[in-house]
Amino acid sequence: MTVTNNSIPAATDVSGNPNGNVPQSYQIVVYNDKGKIVKSAKNEHGSPDVTVSTGDMPDGNYFLHIIQGSNVVEKQVMVRH
C-alpha cells in the first residue's frame, strides 16, 4: 500500500496494488482526531487506486485506515491547505 498526500488538487491517493498484482478489494476510512469517521471510500471495479478528497476537510491530523479483508493498515496524515 502507498499513500500520497497531494496539496493540489486537495486529495489523498491510496494505491492498493504496489507490486503490480491483480488488484484486490479494499476500503478506506478516514477518522478525525476525535475518532469520528469523516470520509470513506472503496476501490471500484477492481481499480488499484482510490482518491479521497480532502478539500472540504479542515487542516489537522487524520487517521487513515486501509481495510482489506481482516487486515487493517493505519496511517496518520496531515491535511494542510
pLDDT, residue 35, reads: 96
The CATH architecture that domain 2-79 belongs to is Sandwich (2.60)
State yes or no: pLDDT of 2 exceeds 80. no
Strands of 60-68's sheet in order across = 37-42, 27-31, 60-68, 71-79
pLDDT tens digit sequence for 40-63? 988 877 777 788 888 888 988 999
pLDDT of residue 49: 78
Q: Going by DSSP bridges, is the β-strand pair 37-42/49-53 parallel, antiparallel, or unpaired?
A: unpaired
Task: State pLDDT tens for residues 14-37.
Answer: 555 544 555 578 888 999 999 999
On whether the CB atoms of residues 66 and 42 are closer than 8 A, the answer is no
15: helix, coil or strand? strand
Q: Where are the domains of the chain?
A: 2-79
pTM of the full predicted structure?
A: 0.73
